[in-house]
Structure 1
Amino acid sequence: MLYLMRHGAPAIEGRLLGRTDDPVTESGIAACVARARGLTFARILSSDLIRARDCAAAIAAPLGLSPTSDPSWRELDFGDWDGLPPAAVDQAALLRFYDDPDAAPPPQGERWSILQTRVAQALATMAPVPTLVVTHGGAIRAALAELCGFDQRQLWAFHLPYAALVSLRIWPGEARTVQIVGVST
């Protein structure tokens, strides 16, 4: 099993938080801990950003696990938009980004294909053991694109609020099969 969990609510919500290392709230951590209750996993990974790392550490501690942070699981870098509320961004540029984040990335930001490539590499190097990854909405969507073949429009259809959990069963091999077992929001 592979569990992909979005980190808890950050201290400042309503912003485009990519590389901005904003802390998570106590209630955000508690929401992730509650969401993880009952899951069975042998390993926990997280983005290296504090809002994901702190949630992973809180989930791992009572289980005696040591989470591993990996920058491959970071959110998309929003460049010049990073840390801004969407209303403060040129709306035409933001719409072009949402329509095609690879062709119209944020100024000085990351293209969608770069995010997808680094998440795909992280997935390819994962040991085949039940794993929980505490990460970001963009990285979860990139993983779903890689594992399930969803296109961009399909990915935006996934509602992934803070502490959301996507559960996947993966059968490895040449003809890898992936089953979405559940999405908890």
Structure 2
Amino acid sequence: MSAYMLHLMRHGAPEVAGRMLGRTDDPATEAGIAACVARAEGIAAERIAASDLVRARVCAAAIGEPRGVSVEVDPRWRELDFGTWDGLSPAEIYPAELAAFYDDPDASPPPDGERWSALQDRVAKALTAMPPVSTLVVTHGGAIRAALAELCGFDRRQIWAFDLPYAALASLRIWPGPTRTVQIVGLAT
């Protein structure tokens, strides 16, 4: 079967940047939306999908509308639920708890939040349901890391090594089939 491209883009900068924004539905700034549109220039995507959170949906719509491509909203691409940390800056979280989360986000999830394995499971389901056509997904940093772990086999320490600022773009070539092969062809930050 022929290869197809999968582009994973982090949404534009939200109005309240630098916080643990999981389920908090903070919108992207105008500059953040413009950064995503500029980053998507030159990407030939037959399909555009986005998280159901407004900061991702609006960026995806700004990319898709001038191309005549409608956005498929999929809540499986939503960010990790940070529980009681949601909306807090890292400085407002007890350092030992935050360090334990980054060391092992499955064994030490945010209080009342989602385990890493739950995020990875829903992202894996979204990937499995994808048709093998060139696709742009506008989503969140955690969901991109979960997709890279699923597609490339990165472990939890390796996924934190990727710098994924707002409007970052990871592009992968995927050969589908029983022994799926994935090649990372670009990481624009």
Same fold (TM over 0.5): yes
Q: Does 1:174 align with 2:178?
A: yes
Shift of residue 174, structure 1, vs aligned partner: 1.1
Identify the residue that residue 31 of structure 1 maps to in structure 2. Answer: 35
Shift of residue 58, structure 1, vs aligned partner: 0.2
Aligned residue pair count: 185
Q: How far, CA to CA, are the matches of 1:5 and 1:60 in structure 2? A: 13
| Structure 1 residues without counterparts, runs of 5 or longer | none
Q: How far, CA to CA, are the matches of 2:70 and 2:130 in structure 1? A: 16
Shift of residue 90, structure 1, vs aligned partner: 1.0
Counterpart selection for 1:77 from 61, 77, 81: 81
Shift of residue 14, structure 1, vs aligned partner: 1.1
Corresponding residue SS for 1:28: helix
Q: Does 1:132 align with 2:136?
A: yes
Q: Does 1:106 align with 2:97?
A: no
Q: Percent identity?
A: 73
| Structure 2 residues without counterparts, runs of 5 or longer | none
Q: How far, CA to CA, are the matches of 2:178 and 2:17 in structure 1? A: 41
Runs of 4+ in 1 over 4 A off after TM superposition: none
Q: Does 1:152 align with 2:153?
A: no
Shift of residue 63, structure 1, vs aligned partner: 0.1
Q: How far, CA to CA, are the matches of 2:68 and 2:176 in structure 1? A: 28
Q: CA RMSD of the aligned region, Å?
A: 0.4
Counterpart selection for 2:168 from 125, 147, 164: 164
What are the equivalent positions in structure 2 for 1:36-55 lying under 5 Å apart? 36-55=40-59
Corresponding residue SS for 2:48: strand
Q: How far, CA to CA, are the matches of 2:131 and 2:18 in structure 1? A: 35
Q: TM-score, normalised by structure 1?
A: 0.99
Corresponding residue SS for 1:45: strand
Deviations 1:40-86 (A, max 9, x none): 11000000000000000000010011101110000000000000011
Deviations 1:108-136 (A, max 9, x none): 00000000000000000001110000000
User: What code does the residue aligned with 1:109 have?
Assistant: G
